[in-house]
Structure 1
Amino acid sequence: MQTGTRQYLTYCLNVHPGEKWSENFEAIRTKALNVRDRVCPDAHFGLGLRLSNAAALTLSYPVQLHAFRDFLAANRLYAFTINGFPYGAFHQSCVKESVYQPDWRTPERVAYTCRLADILAALLPEGMEGSISTVPGSYKAWIRGEADIEAMARNLDTVARHLAQLRERTGRFIHLGLEPEPDCFLETTGECIDFFERYLLDRSPVIRDHVGVCVDTCHLALQFEDPVASLHRLVQSGIRVSKIQLSAALSLVSEQAVPDQLTPFCDAVYLHQVRVRDGAGRVQAWPDLPDALAAGAESGSEWRVHFHVPLDFAAQGMLRSTATLLPPSFFAAVHQAGVAHLEIETYTFDVLPEALRARGVEASIAAEYAWVLSRLIG
């Protein structure tokens, strides 16, 4: 939905399980339309697609693409952004580190991303920008040296050139956003700026327009970064902010070495990276929540967990969320920075503790829209 001049808000459809296009379409036909009717029953409603490689291959067929485009028009829907991060299965199986495969060293990631861009170009309304979010290079432990970094930069340049050619051929302007995430090749704002300045910005003239950063506010919070300061640093460095994913991490300040309130948030599907900051400002890191709980931390430390909780999550005991880092002044800074695409992303709904799922996914998403809109409007 349009929230201001050239600014659009959506939610990411990765919250709905589905790896095949038929499953994705069914979620749009039922759940997304339900959310539309709750949020803006009389207005056009934007979609944030999530397409696996298998789904993208199916939707690439002209008959499928034309049928979907007709469906969008008939139902006051439009698509303007795609989550191109998970290539394969993303629900109901052990995802963990495999979500980063194939990474940006591989031709498979290039082909998949170009395919998504071709689909989006066919769906984008005239005059509207498109965005695709993607893996932040790779999982950090997999990168062995300069050759790997150069391979990622070359492949990103290849996609940038494809996006530029697509713009010239179709008139549709699409940009790619690398999404920094804990324990990945790009984790922090500083690492993004360093990578862009050393390997990307001067590589070709099309990079600045077509490759940038997707800022996920949950991931920023894990690094104890200030979201407004991060935005300013990216803009001042000449790096496009392609999209902002509005999300919140779990947080708590615990007097226990092992805060048992976090135990229900352990699951076998996703990585839930943890950062713990003690009273002296030192930060410890763990790759997953069970590892952090096994190790424990100093009493009085602040825990932040990469578990996307609904933006309107209410405090429960010591449990809080980092949504408090997103006041109206944050949204004012987003507007000032000229970021056009905002996407609510709470993909972990199905692995939330049962009490947090009681209202149902559509009602939960609608409540997140209300939370965001109240801050956008002031």
Structure 2
Amino acid sequence: MITAYGQLTYCTNIHGGEAWDQHFESLKTHFPKIKQAVSPTQPMGIGLRLANLASTILIQPDQLVEFKDWLTQAGGYIFTMNGFPFGAFHDTRVKEQVHTPDWTTAERLLYTKRLFTILSKLLPQGMDGGISTSPLGYRHQYNADQTTWLDMRKRATLHLIDVAIYLHQICQEQGKELHLDIEPEPDGVLETGPEFIEWFTQELIPLGVVHLSEQLGMTPDEAEAALKRHIRLCYDVCHFALGYEHHPVVVAELDRQGIRIGKFQISAAIKAHLPEDTARRAEIGAAFRKFDEPTYLHQVLARQKNGNVRRFRDLPDAQAALQDPDTLEWRSHFHVPVFLEDMGLLQSTQSDIREVLTLQRERPVTTHLEVETYTWGVLRPELQLPIADSISRELQWVLKELEKK
């Protein structure tokens, strides 16, 4: 729904399936209930997740007409999409394959362009539209040597420049401002705010200016402006909290560099301070292990006494370091419900969400706000609700936070 601080929605990657009929059926089942609960009197935007298979169906004119008719009837509209997971995202082992195919491939490029074609046909006039995507690829697939690392980054960056050119052409022809929102996360080629900013300023801009000047006849200033209009940051609060990043500092540096935030993904990780007592640490480690499941990567980022952050690729990999006396805190990659901070021995990074929403209230830096919660089974049984009610509860919590003075 439209708030004073941006459009607020939820990401439909909570719903399973790869085929369009599965996506559509989930929307028809759950969206009307959610809208009635949180936005009964005004239209409500949807953060649409489309798998590659689903996108090949929805792009067909008859399917688009049917979907647009349903959106009108349901009081919904599409302004943001999730183009990160290419294929299955539930009920199968995803882990590092969430990045596959990555931005070195034609498959990722064509999929993303297809999503933008769909978004350009669904986006209401007067709104900007964005699609979030992988931070180039999975870091550990390419970091064996410097040559492989640099070659990967260049190939991926060239494909992203291709998308920027495509979005510029859509803007020229249709007057619609679309942007691709890169989403840093642990073990991505781009993991952190500083890494994203360095890539954007030192790789994307120099290479992109050359290609936009050659292909579109732009001046360097025009080319840089186009790149900054069409390539932005997806600021996933869970991911930035995992890295112990200081949100005001990151947002201020983005502003200084003229790099825009395409959307805030409102999400929470789990964390715990580690006491000196070894028995207590063992209890906390056991509490973390209860959260482990085989579908997604659950990286652990451990804050050390010297301020450094030690990184583990998955929750089981961190267990041997649980009793490291130099470690003060663990944070692990889960998208747990945002309304709940106290989880017994563990806590969520809800305070990071509050800090980011305060920044947005004080000076809005994006028009897109999207709740991305998909780990519901971690809740105590008495807190678990039907999925539509669970999503509504998340959105209502964010609305209350946005209304605070």
TM-score, scaled to structure 2: 0.89
Cα deviation 1:263-313 (Å, max 9, x = unaligned): 111001000111111333232211111111243243572110101111111
Aligned residues: 375
Q: What's the offset of the Cα at 1:354?
A: 6.0
Partner residue of 1:279 out of 293, 305, 312: 305
Q: Following the alignment from structure 1 to structure 2, what is the Cα–Cα distance between the partners of residues 352 and 316?
A: 9
2:370 partner amino acid: E
Tell whether 2:388 aligns with 1:362: yes
Counterparts of 1:302-321 in structure 2 under 5 Å? 302-321=329-348
1:150 partner amino acid: K
Identify the residue that residue 161 of structure 1 maps to in structure 2: 165
- Answer yes or no: is the 8 Å Cα contact 1:103–1:138 preserved in 2: yes
Partner residue of 2:195 out of 178, 181, 191: 191
Q: Secondary structure at the match of 1:333?
A: helix
RMSD: 1.6
Q: Secondary structure at the match of 2:375?
A: helix
Q: Secondary structure at the match of 1:265?
A: coil
30-39 vs 98-107, which deviates more? 30-39
Q: Following the alignment from structure 2 to structure 1, what is the Cα–Cα distance between the partners of residues 353 and 87?
A: 31
1:178 partner amino acid: I
Tell whether 2:220 aligns with 1:216: no
Identify the residue that residue 251 of structure 2 maps to in structure 1: 231
Cα deviation 1:207-244 (Å, max 9, x = unaligned): 11100110000000110002222111112111121111
Identify the residue that residue 80 of structure 2 maps to in structure 1: 81
152-161 vs 293-302, which deviates more? 293-302
Identify the residue that residue 70 of structure 2 maps to in structure 1: 71
Counterparts of 1:321-360 in structure 2 under 5 Å? 321-327=348-354, 330-335=356-361, 336-349=363-376, 351-352=377-378, 355=381, 358-360=384-386
- Answer yes or no: is the 8 Å Cα contact 2:266–2:370 preserved in 1: yes
364-373 vs 70-79, which deviates more? 364-373
- Answer yes or no: is the 8 Å Cα contact 1:265–1:353 preserved in 2: no
Q: What's the offset of the Cα at 1:251?
A: 0.8
Q: Following the alignment from structure 2 to structure 1, what is the Cα–Cα distance between the partners of residues 366 and 323?
A: 38
Q: What's the offset of the Cα at 1:337?
A: 4.5
Q: Secondary structure at the match of 1:201?
A: helix
Q: What's the offset of the Cα at 1:356?
A: 7.4
Identify the residue that residue 94 of structure 1 maps to in structure 2: 93
Q: Following the alignment from structure 1 to structure 2, what is the Cα–Cα distance between the partners of residues 210 and 117?
A: 11
Q: Secondary structure at the match of 1:46?
A: strand
Tell whether 2:250 aligns with 1:246: no
Q: Following the alignment from structure 1 to structure 2, what is the Cα–Cα distance between the partners of residues 297 and 209?
A: 47
1:231 partner amino acid: V
Q: Following the alignment from structure 1 to structure 2, what is the Cα–Cα distance between the partners of residues 242 and 356?
A: 36
Counterparts of 1:18-167 in structure 2 under 5 Å? 18-143=17-142, 144-167=148-171
Query: Percent identity of the aligned residues?
Result: 39
Q: Secondary structure at the match of 1:301?
A: strand
Q: What's the offset of the Cα at 1:141?
A: 1.4
Cα deviation 1:179-205 (Å, max 9, x = unaligned): 000011101111011101111123231
Q: What's the offset of the Cα at 1:261?
A: 0.9
- Answer yes or no: is the 8 Å Cα contact 1:257–1:298 preserved in 2: no
Larger CA Rg, structure 1 vs 2: 2
- Answer yes or no: is the 8 Å Cα contact 1:16–1:27 preserved in 2: yes
Cα deviation 1:30-69 (Å, max 9, x = unaligned): 1122111111112211100000000000101000001101
Q: Following the alignment from structure 1 to structure 2, what is the Cα–Cα distance between the partners of residues 71 and 301?
A: 51
249-258 vs 232-241, which deviates more? 249-258
- Answer yes or no: is the 8 Å Cα contact 1:253–1:318 preserved in 2: no
Q: Secondary structure at the match of 2:307?
A: coil
Q: Following the alignment from structure 2 to structure 1, what is the Cα–Cα distance between the partners of residues 88 and 380?
A: 23
Counterparts of 1:292-307 in structure 2 under 5 Å? 292-298=318-324, 301-307=328-334
Q: Secondary structure at the match of 1:343?
A: strand
- Deviating above 4 A after TM superposition, structure 1's stretches of 4 or more consecutive aligned residues are none
Cα deviation 1:7-38 (Å, max 9, x = unaligned): 20100000111211111111110112211111
Change (3 A) 1:112 1:80: same
Which ranges of structure 1 fall in alignment gaps of 5 or more residues? none
Which ranges of structure 2 fall in alignment gaps of 5 or more residues? 143-147, 210-222
Q: Secondary structure at the match of 1:8?
A: strand
- Answer yes or no: is the 8 Å Cα contact 1:257–1:297 preserved in 2: yes
367-376 vs 103-112, which deviates more? 367-376
Q: Following the alignment from structure 2 to structure 1, what is the Cα–Cα distance between the partners of residues 316 and 163?
A: 37
Identify the residue that residue 2 of structure 1 maps to in structure 2: 2
- Answer yes or no: is the 8 Å Cα contact 1:264–1:353 preserved in 2: no
Q: What's the offset of the Cα at 1:145?
A: 2.5
Q: Following the alignment from structure 2 to structure 1, what is the Cα–Cα distance between the partners of residues 76 and 56?
A: 22
Change (3 A) 1:215 1:297: farther
Q: What's the offset of the Cα at 1:318?
A: 2.0
Q: Following the alignment from structure 1 to structure 2, what is the Cα–Cα distance between the partners of residues 127 and 283?
A: 43
1:228 partner amino acid: P
TM-score, scaled to structure 1: 0.95
